[in-house]
Amino acid sequence: MTWQDRYPLAFRLYPYARSADQDAGTPAHHPVTIVGGGPVGVATALDLALRGVPVLVLDDHEGVGQGSRAICFAKRTLEIAHRLGFGAELLAKGVVWNRGRVFHDRDEVFGFDLLPEDGHCYPAFINLQQPWFERFLVEAVERARAQGAPIEIRGRNCVTSMEARDDGVTLEIETPDGAYRITTDWLIACDGAKSPTRVRMGLGFDGRVFEDNFLIADVKMTADFPPERWFWFEPWFKSGASALLHKQPDDIWRIDFQLGWDIDRKAELDPARIRKRIELMLGPDVDYELDWTSIYTFQCRRMERFRHGRVIFAGDAAHQVSPFGARGANSGVQDADNLGWKLAAVLRRDAPESLLDSYDAERIHAADENIRNSTRSTDFITPKTPQSRLFRDAVLHLATHAPFARPMVNSGRLSVPAVYDGSPLNTPDALPGGPARTRPGAPCPDAALADGGFLLDHLDGSGFTLLVLGATPPTLPQGLRALVLDAGASPNLRARYLGQAERALYLIRPDQHVAARWAACDAEKLARALDRALGGTP
């Protein structure tokens, strides 16, 4: 087989190297194998490896493809990256933003601030080209490997066939040196929206296709627009039915134009034509270069189930949304966050295999929320029927003079992590007066501590934590760590974790989601909640 990359690389991060597995007489065995070296696959791998689980990543390329693609990384993703060891790099390189403004024609009709409170280590969002996100992630893998984390990424290792059994999977892998086989107990498919693994298994991927095309033009220019997300409906400059302007690092600006459904794709990608649209928007005198252009259409869909025995799907392979709301890569990284500790607990025999069914339950709940939000945004930006269009225009018309209509203006509801309400791992809320935002199932909001640090830094993910605020902790089961903090000295902790309550105990999962909370709890209650959060029978 001759190797022809499907796309040019931005960074060559894991060049092909012959592995001993290729010379093995019988197929080598790996506990966990991940197909796909994108952000979701590598984040899942790093999470597992940091928990001591040996993991192998197979990718058919040797690094990251060109093109900025995903650019908006949300607070929750940054917090997960922090836990995995590359949050600081993202923050240093990325463009921090919290605010967005929405225009209709020339009028500003809506504005939002995604982080109107203090006491957080990370901002609501950074903008960063996806290749940089992946590069920092792979560099974190290299650092973890140097510290002994059992993780290996094999470039130009393309899975060509698979055989899934009840207790594992056999993979046939093509390389520049020929084919070889391996066996694995668990296969995690992070191989993108077109997931060859999903296709090979004949699994469905149903949902809605939206009849619209969007042109992305990333341009390089020096401009002093603020680092805010600017979105126009029916812009006065007429470059598209809608338009978006958003800053990225290195003087790159993301510009999006809505083109409609019936277009000549090739003609629209003609640089002269793209420049004409850009110059209508920016004026004829602005100096810029085209950095990357692309036309995309989009779908909102998901698999019916993400877990199929020993094969587990994550990221775009499992669910796909429109880009409005930055819910693609961000939700994929949260899949990794959810799956890592669970699979590690199953492999360590700390939890039954059925714990992994909660990955399905929780991440399908999250995918449905993302699809719902993304679909609503898309219906507003691209109304499907004359009636839908009529009401969309009515909202935009009213928004200029009637404040009530402004929150209805929907140019994308930006990614926030799902609260796993109703998850089988949750113990019913037992903290009267406790804030809704930290109820069981919720991701822990960060909080500035009295000593100047941040709460999430103390929830390092290596295991469960019992957060104790002014209460008396019971005897702790083995392996559970107590984190005793003085809520009186931290207004953030008090507001976000106590509310009207005077004291509280929170059982927090390795992925920083709340499993249970009480005003008071004894050893038995605690043990029951912990057992339940590990997939035991409630």
CB of 405 to other proteins, least distance (A): 6
Return d(Cα 225, Cα 282) in angstroms, integer. 11
Q: What is the torsion angle, in degrees rounded to the nearest 10, for the CA atoms of residue 142, residue 332, residue 319 and residue 193? A: -30
524 by DSSP, 3-state: which?
helix
The length of the chain is 538
Query: Residue 303: CA atoms inside 13 Å, Cβ hemisphere, count?
Result: 26
**338 sits in which H/E element:** helix 329-347
Nearer to other proteins, 404 or 537 (CB): 404
CB of 397 to other proteins, least distance (A): 6
Residues that bind other proteins in the complex, under the rule CB under 8 A: 390-391, 393-395, 397-398, 402, 404-405, 408
- Find, among 423, 424, 392, the residue nearest to 408 by Cα: 392
User: Residue 75: which residues within 8 A CB-CB, separation 6 or more?
Assistant: 115, 120, 122, 123, 124, 125
How is residue 66 written in tokens?
Answer: 């060109």
CB of 107 to other proteins, least distance (A): 16
Return d(Cα 443, Cα 399) in angstroms, integer. 33
CB of 398 to other proteins, least distance (A): 6
Instruction: Say if residues 358 and 312 touch (Cβ distance below 8 Å).
Output: no
Nearer to other proteins, 17 or 390 (CB): 390
370 by DSSP, 3-state: which?
helix
CB of 386 to other proteins, least distance (A): 9
Nearer to other proteins, 407 or 432 (CB): 407
CB of 232 to other proteins, least distance (A): 20
CB of 373 to other proteins, least distance (A): 17
Nearer to other proteins, 398 or 495 (CB): 398
Return d(Cα 183, Cα 198) in angstroms, integer. 18
User: Residue 2: which residues within 8 A CB-CB, separation 6 or more?
Assistant: none
Instruction: Say if residues 401 and 323 touch (Cβ distance below 8 Å).
Output: no
Q: What are phi and psi of 461, to 5 degrees?
A: 90, -5
Nearer to other proteins, 28 or 408 (CB): 408
CB of 391 to other proteins, least distance (A): 5
Return d(Cα 217, Cα 8) in angstroms, integer. 18
How is residue 410 written in tokens?
Answer: 């929907």
Nearer to other proteins, 88 or 390 (CB): 390
DSSP state string for 211-253:
EEEEEEEEEE------SSEEEEES-TT-SSSEEEEEEETTTEE
Nearer to other proteins, 226 or 386 (CB): 386
Nearer to other proteins, 387 or 475 (CB): 387
Nearer to other proteins, 390 or 489 (CB): 390
CB of 402 to other proteins, least distance (A): 7
Phi-psi region of 379 (alpha: psi -120 to 50; beta: other; left: phi over 0): alpha
Q: What is the DSSP letter of 513?
A: B
Nearer to other proteins, 194 or 397 (CB): 397
CB of 439 to other proteins, least distance (A): 22
Return d(Cα 490, Cα 493) in angstroms, integer. 5
